[in-house]
């Protein structure tokens, strides 16, 4: 049984266009409806380093990945220390749209060096549960229709490959995000119930 006094951190992962925001928001609302104290957050953040990353992502397409990896890691330390840790100490469920596995998959995949990315992120603890929404990159690009820094099928394939390794080693729990939304939401609810020993049925 999970220690409720300590709170629980659930992160959502996936390539751009996998539906993370819709699915994570749905879980947040469901937990809130059940009366659990919960907090929703995203990475990159809107704090100091997060704002800098957002500027790079929108204006500078060729920023070196090593530099971006360090910025994402710095943003995460600030996120954890100033936001996540405090909420967990108060017993909240913290739902985050992206966390450490995004860096391992994106920067690790693009640099072909996930272990280095893991090392620079070892100042923050892993989440209690990380859910990965899997989608074929071509389908994700068709769904999203807007362009961002990593929206190229060959880059997304490299990123997906690392996510799959993280599923295989048990760090991520995979959900097929190509299924109809209601099914995806139902599967996510079941995973949260069984992994965290909760009852979210209405
Ligand atoms: P978003 O589309 O989920 O808002 O994420 C913004 C972009 O930042 C997305 O393309 C993924 C990327 N990203 C990384 O490359 N590494 C990271 O560590 C994080 C948190 C996001």
User: Does the structure show a pLDDT above 90 at 85?
Assistant: yes
Q: Which is higher by pLDDT, 54 or 97?
A: 97
Q: What is the pLDDT of residue 104?
A: 98
What SS3 string covers 77-120?
Answer: HHHHHHHHHHHHHCCCEEEEECCHHHHHHHHHHHHCCHHHHHHH
Q: What is the C-alpha separation between 124 and 77, in angstroms, rounded?
A: 6
- Whether omega for the bond prior to residue 39 falls within 30 degrees of 0, making it cis, is no
pLDDT at 1 over 50: no
Nearest Cα residue to 127 out of 29, 24, 52: 24
Q: Which of 14, 98, 103 to mutate to test the pocket of ligand 1 (most atoms within 8 A of CB)?
A: 98
Residue nearest to atom 1 of ligand 1 (CA): 16
- Cβ 103 vs Cβ 72: under 8 Å: yes
The residue whose CB lies within 8 Å of the most ligand 1 atoms, and thus the one to mutate among 12, 74, 102, is 102
The tokens describing 47, both together, are: 């704090």
Of the pLDDT bands very low, low, confident and very high (cuts 50, 70, 90), residue 6 is: confident
Structure-model confidence comparison of residues 201 and 83, the more confident one: 83
The β-bridge relationship of strands 129-134 and 38-42 is unpaired
The pLDDT assigned to 183 comes to 97
Domains belonging to the chain, first-starting first, are 8-196 (3.40.50.300)
Atom of ligand 1 nearest to the CA of 151: 10
* Least confident piece of the model among 65-79, 140-154, 178-192: 140-154
- Say yes or no: CB of residue 72 within 6 Å of ligand 1: yes
* pLDDT score recorded for residue 60: 58
Q: Mean per-residue pLDDT for 84-104?
A: 97
pLDDT of residue 16: 87
Residue nearest to atom 19 of ligand 1 (CA): 102
Q: Quote the pLDDT of residue 98.
A: 98
Query: Does the structure show a pLDDT above 80 at 149?
Result: no
Work out the average pLDDT over 77-91. Answer: 97
Ligand 1 neighbour 187 (Cβ under 6 A): no
Task: Answer yes or no: is pLDDT of 58 > 70.
Answer: no
Residue located nearest, by CA, to atom 18 of ligand 1: 103
Residue-level length of the chain: 202
> Given ligand 1 and candidates 20, 24, 43, 63, which is best to mutate, with the most ligand atoms within 8 Å of its CB?
43
Cα(77)–Cα(6) distance, integer angstroms: 19
Tell me the pairing of strands 8-13 and 173-176.
Answer: unpaired
Residue 152 pLDDT greater than 90, yes or no: no
Question: Residue 92 in contact with residue 7, Cβ under 8 Å?
Answer: yes
Ligand 1 centroid, distance to 5 Cα (angstroms): 31
* Ligand 1 centroid to residue 183 C-alpha, Å: 25
| 150 CB within 6 A, ligand 1 | yes
| Ligand 1 atom with minimal separation from the 72 CA | 18
Task: Give the tens place of pLDDT for each residue, 103-135.
Answer: 999 999 999 999 999 999 999 999 999 999 999
| Mean pLDDT within 86-91 | 96
């Amino acid at each position: 049984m999970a220690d409720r006094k300590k709170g629980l951190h659930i992160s959502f992962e996936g390539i751009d266009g996998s539906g993370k925001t819709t699915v994570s928001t749905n879980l947040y609302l469901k937990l809130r409806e059940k009366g659990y104290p919960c907090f929703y957050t995203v990475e990159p953040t809107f704090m100091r380093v997060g704002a800098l990353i957002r500027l790079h992502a929108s204006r500078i397409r060729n920023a070196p990945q090593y530099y971006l990896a360090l910025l994402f890691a710095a943003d995460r330390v600030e996120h954890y220390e100033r936001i996540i840790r405090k909420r967990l100490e108060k017993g909240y469920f913290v739902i985050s749209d992206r966390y450490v596995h995004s860096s391992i998959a994106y920067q690790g995949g693009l640099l072909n060096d996930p272990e280095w990315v893991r090392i620079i992120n070892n100042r923050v603890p892993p989440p209690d549960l990380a859910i990965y929404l899997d989608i074929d990159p071509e389908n994700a690009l068709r769904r999203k229709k807007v362009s961002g820094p990593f929206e190229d099928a060959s880059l997304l394939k490299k990123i997906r490959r690392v996510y799959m390794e993280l599923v295989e080693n048990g760090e991520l729990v995979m959900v097929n995000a190509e299924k109809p939304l209601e099914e995806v939401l139902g599967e996510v609810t079941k995973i949260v119930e069984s992994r965290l020993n909760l009852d979210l049925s209405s």
